[in-house]
Structure 1
Amino acid sequence: MNVHAPLSVSIDDLKSRIGQELGVSSWKVIDQDRIDRFATVTEDLQFIHVDPERALAETPFGGTIAHGFLTLSLLSAMGQEALPTIRNRTMGINYGLERVRFLSPVPVGARVRGRFILSEVSMRSATQAMLRYQVTVEIEGAEKPALAAEWLTLAVLG
Protein backbone atom coordinates (compact mmCIF):
# COMPACT_ATOMS: atom_id res chain seq x y z
CA MET A 1 0.00 0.00 0.00
CA ASN A 2 1.24 3.46 -0.83
CA VAL A 3 2.10 5.69 2.09
CA HIS A 4 2.81 8.80 0.00
CA ALA A 5 -0.64 9.58 -1.40
CA PRO A 6 -3.43 11.01 0.75
CA LEU A 7 -6.76 9.24 0.47
CA SER A 8 -8.73 12.07 -1.13
CA VAL A 9 -7.66 15.42 -2.58
CA SER A 10 -9.26 18.29 -4.46
CA ILE A 11 -8.06 19.58 -7.83
CA ASP A 12 -6.77 22.68 -6.02
CA ASP A 13 -4.81 20.43 -3.65
CA LEU A 14 -3.27 18.73 -6.68
CA LYS A 15 -2.34 22.05 -8.29
CA SER A 16 -0.33 22.87 -5.16
CA ARG A 17 1.59 19.58 -5.54
CA ILE A 18 2.86 20.03 -9.10
CA GLY A 19 6.45 18.82 -9.27
CA GLN A 20 6.00 16.50 -6.29
CA GLU A 21 5.90 12.74 -6.08
CA LEU A 22 2.30 11.72 -5.44
CA GLY A 23 2.80 8.03 -4.89
CA VAL A 24 4.66 4.79 -5.34
CA SER A 25 2.91 1.50 -6.00
CA SER A 26 3.69 -1.81 -4.35
CA TRP A 27 5.98 -4.26 -6.11
CA LYS A 28 4.42 -6.49 -8.78
CA VAL A 29 6.02 -9.81 -9.70
CA ILE A 30 6.62 -10.42 -13.40
CA ASP A 31 6.57 -14.20 -13.54
CA GLN A 32 6.50 -16.43 -16.62
CA ASP A 33 2.78 -17.09 -16.23
CA ARG A 34 2.00 -13.35 -16.43
CA ILE A 35 4.29 -12.99 -19.47
CA ASP A 36 2.72 -16.01 -21.19
CA ARG A 37 -0.83 -14.76 -20.58
CA PHE A 38 0.07 -11.33 -21.95
CA ALA A 39 1.70 -12.97 -24.99
CA THR A 40 -1.45 -14.97 -25.68
CA VAL A 41 -3.80 -12.01 -25.37
CA THR A 42 -1.65 -9.72 -27.55
CA GLU A 43 -0.53 -12.47 -29.95
CA ASP A 44 3.09 -11.41 -29.41
CA LEU A 45 4.71 -14.82 -29.05
CA GLN A 46 8.31 -13.80 -29.77
CA PHE A 47 10.66 -16.36 -28.23
CA ILE A 48 12.42 -13.80 -26.01
CA HIS A 49 9.20 -13.67 -24.00
CA VAL A 50 7.77 -17.20 -24.12
CA ASP A 51 10.59 -19.71 -24.67
CA PRO A 52 12.83 -19.80 -21.58
CA GLU A 53 15.33 -22.33 -22.99
CA ARG A 54 15.81 -20.52 -26.28
CA ALA A 55 15.93 -17.11 -24.57
CA LEU A 56 18.68 -18.43 -22.28
CA ALA A 57 20.66 -19.86 -25.19
CA GLU A 58 20.18 -17.11 -27.77
CA THR A 59 19.81 -13.78 -25.96
CA PRO A 60 21.96 -11.69 -23.65
CA PHE A 61 19.11 -11.52 -21.11
CA GLY A 62 19.78 -14.78 -19.26
CA GLY A 63 16.22 -15.97 -19.86
CA THR A 64 12.89 -14.58 -20.91
CA ILE A 65 11.93 -10.94 -20.48
CA ALA A 66 8.60 -9.16 -20.15
CA HIS A 67 7.09 -7.40 -23.13
CA GLY A 68 7.65 -3.66 -22.91
CA PHE A 69 3.91 -3.24 -23.47
CA LEU A 70 3.21 -5.58 -20.53
CA THR A 71 5.21 -3.33 -18.25
CA LEU A 72 3.48 -0.27 -19.71
CA SER A 73 0.03 -1.83 -19.29
CA LEU A 74 0.60 -2.17 -15.54
CA LEU A 75 0.52 1.63 -15.16
CA SER A 76 -3.26 1.59 -14.72
CA ALA A 77 -3.11 -0.82 -11.76
CA MET A 78 -0.07 0.92 -10.31
CA GLY A 79 -1.69 4.34 -10.62
CA GLN A 80 -4.94 3.15 -9.09
CA GLU A 81 -2.99 1.94 -6.09
CA ALA A 82 -0.50 4.79 -5.73
CA LEU A 83 -2.35 7.95 -6.72
CA PRO A 84 -4.78 9.83 -4.49
CA THR A 85 -8.49 9.78 -5.16
CA ILE A 86 -9.75 13.07 -6.57
CA ARG A 87 -12.77 14.47 -4.73
CA ASN A 88 -15.87 14.89 -6.91
CA ARG A 89 -14.36 12.82 -9.73
CA THR A 90 -17.05 10.78 -11.45
CA MET A 91 -14.60 8.96 -13.73
CA GLY A 92 -11.04 8.94 -14.91
CA ILE A 93 -10.08 8.48 -18.54
CA ASN A 94 -6.72 7.32 -19.83
CA TYR A 95 -5.89 10.13 -22.26
CA GLY A 96 -2.61 8.74 -23.57
CA LEU A 97 1.13 8.70 -23.26
CA GLU A 98 3.96 10.85 -24.50
CA ARG A 99 7.69 10.25 -24.60
CA VAL A 100 7.51 6.57 -23.68
CA ARG A 101 10.93 4.96 -23.42
CA PHE A 102 11.73 1.35 -22.59
CA LEU A 103 15.04 1.73 -20.79
CA SER A 104 15.82 -1.75 -19.41
CA PRO A 105 14.44 -5.23 -20.04
CA VAL A 106 12.44 -6.75 -17.21
CA PRO A 107 13.71 -10.29 -16.60
CA VAL A 108 11.33 -13.06 -15.66
CA GLY A 109 10.94 -13.22 -11.88
CA ALA A 110 11.70 -9.51 -11.37
CA ARG A 111 9.52 -7.18 -9.36
CA VAL A 112 8.49 -3.77 -10.69
CA ARG A 113 6.74 -0.76 -9.21
CA GLY A 114 5.47 2.60 -10.45
CA ARG A 115 6.61 5.99 -9.20
CA PHE A 116 4.36 8.97 -10.06
CA ILE A 117 5.31 12.65 -10.11
CA LEU A 118 2.61 15.19 -10.96
CA SER A 119 3.90 17.60 -13.60
CA GLU A 120 0.78 19.48 -14.71
CA VAL A 121 -2.88 20.08 -13.88
CA SER A 122 -4.95 22.04 -16.39
CA MET A 123 -8.66 22.64 -16.44
CA ARG A 124 -10.17 21.88 -19.86
CA SER A 125 -13.60 22.96 -18.65
CA ALA A 126 -15.41 23.39 -15.35
CA THR A 127 -15.86 19.62 -15.17
CA GLN A 128 -12.66 18.27 -16.77
CA ALA A 129 -9.11 18.38 -15.43
CA MET A 130 -6.16 17.09 -17.44
CA LEU A 131 -3.41 15.59 -15.29
CA ARG A 132 0.10 14.92 -16.54
CA TYR A 133 2.38 12.56 -14.64
CA GLN A 134 6.04 11.70 -15.03
CA VAL A 135 6.00 7.95 -14.48
CA THR A 136 8.92 5.66 -13.88
CA VAL A 137 8.61 1.90 -13.58
CA GLU A 138 11.47 0.66 -11.45
CA ILE A 139 12.92 -2.84 -11.42
CA GLU A 140 13.80 -3.98 -7.92
CA GLY A 141 17.57 -3.97 -7.47
CA ALA A 142 18.29 -2.58 -10.96
CA GLU A 143 20.23 0.58 -11.63
CA LYS A 144 18.06 1.69 -14.55
CA PRO A 145 14.26 1.71 -14.66
CA ALA A 146 12.24 -0.45 -17.02
CA LEU A 147 10.49 2.54 -18.53
CA ALA A 148 9.85 6.25 -18.28
CA ALA A 149 6.86 8.06 -19.73
CA GLU A 150 4.56 11.03 -19.52
CA TRP A 151 1.05 9.81 -18.78
CA LEU A 152 -2.03 11.96 -19.31
CA THR A 153 -5.33 11.28 -17.60
CA LEU A 154 -8.58 13.18 -17.74
CA ALA A 155 -10.52 13.58 -14.51
CA VAL A 156 -14.23 14.14 -15.10
CA LEU A 157 -15.71 16.01 -12.17
CA GLY A 158 -19.32 15.90 -11.07
Structure 2
Amino acid sequence: MSHVFSSAQALLAAEGLDLGHTEWLTISQQRIDLFAEATSDHQWIHVDPVRAASGPFGACIAHGYLTQSLANLFMPQLLIIENMAMGVNYGSDRVRFPAPVKVDSRVRGSGQIIRAEPLGDAVQLTVRITVEVEGQARPGCVIDTISRYTFNPICE
Protein backbone atom coordinates (compact mmCIF):
# COMPACT_ATOMS: atom_id res chain seq x y z
CA MET A 1 0.00 0.00 0.00
CA SER A 2 1.44 3.34 -1.05
CA HIS A 3 1.51 6.40 1.15
CA VAL A 4 0.22 9.47 -0.71
CA PHE A 5 1.60 12.98 -0.21
CA SER A 6 0.25 16.09 -1.94
CA SER A 7 2.09 18.97 -0.27
CA ALA A 8 5.45 20.01 1.08
CA GLN A 9 3.94 20.21 4.56
CA ALA A 10 2.73 16.60 4.38
CA LEU A 11 6.20 15.38 3.34
CA LEU A 12 7.93 17.38 6.05
CA ALA A 13 5.57 15.92 8.66
CA ALA A 14 6.34 12.37 7.47
CA GLU A 15 9.94 12.23 8.71
CA GLY A 16 10.45 8.88 10.46
CA LEU A 17 7.46 7.25 8.76
CA ASP A 18 7.71 3.53 8.02
CA LEU A 19 6.46 3.07 4.45
CA GLY A 20 5.88 -0.67 4.66
CA HIS A 21 6.73 -3.26 2.00
CA THR A 22 6.29 -3.77 -1.73
CA GLU A 23 5.16 -6.93 -3.46
CA TRP A 24 7.71 -9.70 -4.02
CA LEU A 25 9.72 -9.76 -7.25
CA THR A 26 11.63 -12.78 -8.59
CA ILE A 27 15.15 -12.01 -9.81
CA SER A 28 15.34 -14.15 -12.95
CA GLN A 29 18.42 -15.02 -14.97
CA GLN A 30 16.86 -13.08 -17.84
CA ARG A 31 16.75 -9.90 -15.72
CA ILE A 32 20.40 -10.45 -14.70
CA ASP A 33 21.43 -11.06 -18.33
CA LEU A 34 19.62 -7.93 -19.52
CA PHE A 35 21.39 -5.88 -16.85
CA ALA A 36 24.73 -7.40 -17.90
CA GLU A 37 23.99 -6.44 -21.49
CA ALA A 38 23.00 -2.88 -20.55
CA THR A 39 26.13 -2.32 -18.42
CA SER A 40 28.66 -4.54 -20.25
CA ASP A 41 29.31 -6.35 -16.95
CA HIS A 42 29.42 -9.98 -18.06
CA GLN A 43 31.35 -11.40 -15.11
CA TRP A 44 30.77 -15.15 -14.85
CA ILE A 45 29.27 -14.97 -11.34
CA HIS A 46 26.32 -13.19 -12.96
CA VAL A 47 25.90 -14.75 -16.41
CA ASP A 48 27.44 -18.24 -16.49
CA PRO A 49 25.12 -20.63 -14.60
CA VAL A 50 27.39 -23.65 -15.10
CA ARG A 51 30.53 -21.98 -13.78
CA ALA A 52 28.63 -20.09 -11.07
CA ALA A 53 27.19 -23.37 -9.74
CA SER A 54 30.67 -24.36 -8.61
CA GLY A 55 31.61 -20.83 -7.52
CA PRO A 56 31.47 -19.20 -4.10
CA PHE A 57 27.69 -18.58 -4.14
CA GLY A 58 26.55 -21.90 -5.69
CA ALA A 59 24.56 -20.09 -8.39
CA CYS A 60 24.53 -16.89 -10.41
CA ILE A 61 23.98 -13.75 -8.38
CA ALA A 62 22.49 -10.41 -9.33
CA HIS A 63 24.87 -7.52 -9.87
CA GLY A 64 25.03 -5.26 -6.82
CA TYR A 65 24.06 -2.33 -9.02
CA LEU A 66 21.06 -4.27 -10.34
CA THR A 67 19.92 -4.81 -6.76
CA GLN A 68 20.54 -1.11 -6.03
CA SER A 69 18.59 -0.02 -9.09
CA LEU A 70 15.48 -1.75 -7.76
CA ALA A 71 15.08 1.26 -5.44
CA ASN A 72 13.75 3.06 -8.52
CA LEU A 73 11.13 0.32 -8.97
CA PHE A 74 10.18 0.16 -5.29
CA MET A 75 9.95 3.90 -4.48
CA PRO A 76 6.67 4.58 -6.34
CA GLN A 77 5.20 1.41 -4.80
CA LEU A 78 5.90 2.84 -1.34
CA LEU A 79 5.08 6.52 -1.79
CA ILE A 80 3.13 8.54 -4.29
CA ILE A 81 3.70 12.26 -4.70
CA GLU A 82 0.59 14.04 -5.98
CA ASN A 83 0.33 17.69 -7.01
CA MET A 84 4.02 17.62 -7.90
CA ALA A 85 5.42 20.29 -10.18
CA MET A 86 8.72 18.44 -10.48
CA GLY A 87 10.67 15.67 -8.81
CA VAL A 88 14.32 14.82 -9.33
CA ASN A 89 16.62 12.07 -8.12
CA TYR A 90 19.40 13.95 -6.34
CA GLY A 91 21.51 10.90 -5.47
CA SER A 92 22.18 8.76 -2.43
CA ASP A 93 24.09 9.02 0.84
CA ARG A 94 24.90 5.38 1.52
CA VAL A 95 24.70 2.12 -0.36
CA ARG A 96 25.55 -1.26 1.13
CA PHE A 97 25.28 -4.83 -0.20
CA PRO A 98 25.13 -6.97 2.98
CA ALA A 99 24.28 -10.25 1.19
CA PRO A 100 24.22 -11.65 -2.35
CA VAL A 101 20.96 -12.01 -4.26
CA LYS A 102 20.97 -15.41 -5.97
CA VAL A 103 19.18 -16.03 -9.24
CA ASP A 104 15.49 -16.90 -8.75
CA SER A 105 15.44 -15.29 -5.30
CA ARG A 106 12.40 -13.25 -4.40
CA VAL A 107 13.04 -9.72 -3.21
CA ARG A 108 10.88 -6.87 -1.99
CA GLY A 109 11.50 -3.32 -0.91
CA SER A 110 10.78 -1.79 2.44
CA GLY A 111 11.11 1.91 3.09
CA GLN A 112 11.41 4.54 5.75
CA ILE A 113 11.52 8.30 5.43
CA ILE A 114 14.64 9.09 7.42
CA ARG A 115 14.89 12.81 6.63
CA ALA A 116 12.60 15.49 5.20
CA GLU A 117 14.07 18.97 4.85
CA PRO A 118 12.77 22.19 3.35
CA LEU A 119 15.00 23.42 0.54
CA GLY A 120 13.72 26.72 -0.82
CA ASP A 121 10.44 25.89 -2.57
CA ALA A 122 11.27 22.17 -2.52
CA VAL A 123 11.46 19.33 -0.05
CA GLN A 124 14.56 17.17 0.02
CA LEU A 125 13.49 13.68 1.03
CA THR A 126 15.84 10.90 2.13
CA VAL A 127 14.22 7.48 1.99
CA ARG A 128 16.02 4.35 3.13
CA ILE A 129 15.13 1.48 0.82
CA THR A 130 16.01 -1.99 2.05
CA VAL A 131 15.96 -4.76 -0.56
CA GLU A 132 14.91 -7.78 1.47
CA VAL A 133 15.63 -11.29 0.18
CA GLU A 134 13.04 -13.91 1.06
CA GLY A 135 14.45 -16.47 3.48
CA GLN A 136 17.63 -14.50 4.22
CA ALA A 137 18.36 -12.66 7.45
CA ARG A 138 20.50 -10.00 5.73
CA PRO A 139 19.21 -7.77 2.92
CA GLY A 140 20.65 -7.66 -0.57
CA CYS A 141 20.95 -3.86 -0.52
CA VAL A 142 20.32 -0.90 1.75
CA ILE A 143 20.33 2.51 0.08
CA ASP A 144 19.50 5.99 1.35
CA THR A 145 17.97 7.68 -1.68
CA ILE A 146 17.71 11.46 -1.94
CA SER A 147 14.95 13.09 -3.98
CA ARG A 148 13.82 16.68 -4.35
CA TYR A 149 10.16 17.55 -4.88
CA THR A 150 8.46 20.82 -5.69
CA PHE A 151 4.69 21.13 -5.59
CA ASN A 152 2.09 23.03 -7.58
CA PRO A 153 0.29 25.70 -5.58
CA ILE A 154 -2.86 24.42 -3.92
CA CYS A 155 -5.90 26.31 -5.20
CA GLU A 156 -8.80 26.47 -2.80
What's the counterpart of residue 74 of structure 1? 70
Quote the Cα distance in structure 1 between the aligned partners of 2:6 and 2:88: 18
Quote the Cα distance in structure 2 between the aligned partners of 1:122 and 1:54: 48
- Partner-residue secondary structure (3-state), 1:74: helix
Q: Is the 8 A contact 2:45 2:61 kept in 1?
A: yes
Quote the Cα distance in structure 2 between the aligned partners of 1:73 and 1:46: 18
2:110 equivalent among 111, 115, 122? 115
**5-14 vs 72-81, which deviates more?**
5-14
Q: CA-to-partner distance for each residue in 1:36-88, whole Å, 9 max, x for gaps? A: 0000010000000000000112x2211100000001111111101121x2232
Q: CA-to-partner distance for each residue in 1:12-34, whole Å, 9 max, x for gaps? A: 22222211212422111100000
Which runs of 5 or more residues in structure 1 are unaligned? Answer: none
| 1:8 CA displacement | 4.0
Q: Is the 8 A contact 1:49 1:64 kept in 2?
A: yes
| 1:90 CA displacement | 2.1
Quote the Cα distance in structure 2 between the aligned partners of 1:91 and 1:39: 31
What's the counterpart of residue 131 of structure 2? 137
What's the counterpart of residue 94 of structure 1? 89
Q: Is the 8 A contact 1:11 1:87 kept in 2?
A: no
Q: Is the 8 A contact 1:28 1:113 kept in 2?
A: yes
Name the aligned partner's letter for residue 113 of structure 2: L
- What fraction of aligned residue pairs are identical, expressed as a percent? 39
Q: Is the 8 A contact 1:30 1:66 kept in 2?
A: yes
Superposition CA RMSD, Å = 1.4
Q: CA-to-partner distance for each residue in 1:76-133, whole Å, 9 max, x for gaps? A: 11101121x223212321110111111100000001111110011112112x111011
Equivalent residues, number: 152
